Amino acid sequence: MPKFTLPDYTPQDPAAFLYRLSDAYLAFAEAEGETAMDKLNDEQHTLLAYCYLDSQVQEGGFIQLIAAGYGEYIFMNPLADSLRRWRIKPTPKIIEQAKALYAEHGADIEALAEAGESLDNIRTRFNDFEEPDGDYYEAADEDLAAAAAYIQANPAKFIE
């Protein structure tokens, strides 16, 4: 099993802490090849998924996340339930709201993205995602801090 080291934590920037740890998992996967992801535990996979979610939604909302091909990875895995175990409250509800929209519109968004449609045009067609986007932006700082606190309180789950 891989061993990782927790990065330094600065309470003013919990996202940097989470992203550095996630980057260590990705570097491990890149160095070890296809089977490396199987060696990561559920908590490590949850952190990876959360960082993918955060990076995509912060940059371009749930439409970008879906258009980039992460919809199935985020919405068809138990990310929301895992984040609840981390005592994160708003983000799991937002994920479930966006998941319902993904079930309704995800295939169309992915098809448009694959056909080269711009994100702005896709966003215009599927403006139902504006509410979960806004809710995510409002909750992100507090929820990222809660995730960092959970990792600080349970380091063995993330470094072994």
| Domain assignment of residue 91, yes or no | yes
Largest separation between any pair of C-alpha atoms in the chain: 46
Global model pTM greater than 0.75: yes
pLDDT over 70, % of the chain? 99
Residue range(s) defining the domain that contains residue 50: 14-159
Q: Record the tokens describing residue 118, joined without a space.
A: 């711009």
Phi, psi of 55 (to 5 degrees): -65, -40
What are the C-alpha distances in Å from 67 to residues 100, 113, 122, 125, 147? 16, 5, 9, 13, 26
Instruction: Please determine, for residue 2, whether its predicted confidence score (pLDDT) is greater than 80.
Output: no
Position 9 scores a pLDDT of 85
What would the 3-class secondary structure string for 44-68 be? HHHHHHHHHHHHHHHHHHHHHHHHC
Work out how many domains the chain is built from and give that number: 1
The answer to the question of residue 96 being in a domain is yes
Answer yes or no: is 9 within a domain. no
Is it the case that residue 3 has pLDDT exceeding 90? no
List the structure tokens of 77.
Answer: 């895995």
153 pLDDT above the threshold of 70 = yes
2 within a domain of the structure (yes/no): no
What's the pLDDT tens digit per position in 53-110?
Answer: 999 999 999 999 999 999 999 999 999 999 999 999 999 999 999 999 999 999 999 9
Q: Would you say residue 43 has pLDDT above 90?
A: yes
